[in-house]
Amino acid sequence: MIDKMPNIALGTWMITKPNEISEVIPHGLENGYRHIDTAQIYFNEELIGKELEQLDIPREEYWITSKVWVLNYKYHTYTSVRESLLKLKTNYIDTMLLHADAGKERNVIAYKELMKAREEGLIRGIGVSNFSIEALEQIKEATGEYPKYNQIICSPKQRIVDLEKFCKDNNIRLMGYSSIRPYYNPNPYYKDPGFTADEKKIVDEIAAETNSTPAIVLLRWSMQHDYIILPKTAKTERLDSNLEVQNITLSEDQMKRLDGLNAFDYKTFLATMKVWEENRNLREDDEKIGVRISPESDKHFVKNNVK
């Protein structure tokens, strides 16, 4: 059995078409990936589970990370974990994350439910995603432990240095998403125009120096800052090329040049998270129904466009 999270995950956000899942999951696991990152709100756990069930790869040889959506925190965390297990067709999930900060009360309720699931062997480890320093400290105060992981945005232009340092100082392993995206398209959830032409030129120069590509340079930068990376693609050829990140090393000078592109800080991160929380507009009636715990809950979510 794999005893620690592999440092490269096959990201599956926005990959929801059966034909895409049926290509990337088998191809990825048969060609070097040993970690799949999904989430309840991605609406693809059942498609992934169907493919995993057909693979001739023992379950203990790959890692699954999934995430509990915020609508389930207050009333359905434990139930939603069991539903995720059924969809993924597995007896355990290696890491279950709380997908976003939903406020102290909800976070603590959900975390304690994950602790219960961990005690029963349904999940092996607990983490969070998009959690601030304050939210992490609240979990520690209420439960006696910090989450084992925090999945946050991470690219040379969007690096949250203060949060990164806090996590490293407290042995919270970092998972970084959207490492590549700003080079090609701005992340829709962050008010940022993406890389400028001059910023792209710096990345391109380093790609030429390392005989690689801009995507590999950006992924490698995240890895060298000790992030578990989550490259996402629906194309098998890109799955293969992303693994080339293991074959290069950026020099100290190259890392500094990329570090200098950062236009993000902890204050901006907190402001962004506040907007996210307000936009989710968590209502008691929606929380009681939940999402991804029954066909009815899914219909309610889609009908009401609950966020």
The residues carrying an active-site annotation are 42
For residues 301 and 291, the answer to whether their CB atoms sit within 8 Å is yes
In sequence order, what E strands does the chain have? 10-11, 35-37, 63-68, 93-98, 123-129, 149-153, 173-177, 227-229
Query: Cα–Cα–Cα angle for 252, 185, 20, nearest 5°?
Result: 105
Nearest to 111 by CA among 87, 149, 78: 78
Q: What does the block give as tokens for 113?
A: 């439910």
Q: What does the block give as tokens for 256?
A: 């500094």
Q: Which bin fits 281, alpha (ψ -120 to 50), beta or left (φ > 0)?
A: left
Nearest to 82 by CA among 91, 69, 73: 91
Counted residue by residue, the chain has a size of 307
For residues 75 and 287, the answer to whether their CB atoms sit within 8 Å is yes
For residue 250, the one-letter residue type is: L
Sign (positive or negative) of CA dihedral 11, 229, 27, 37: negative
How many CA atoms lie less than 13 Å away from 95 in the CB half-sphere? Answer: 28
Nearest to 44 by CA among 24, 73, 58: 24
For residues 267 and 215, the answer to whether their CB atoms sit within 8 Å is no
How far separated are the first and last CA of the chain, in Å rounded? Answer: 36
For residue 115, the one-letter residue type is: M
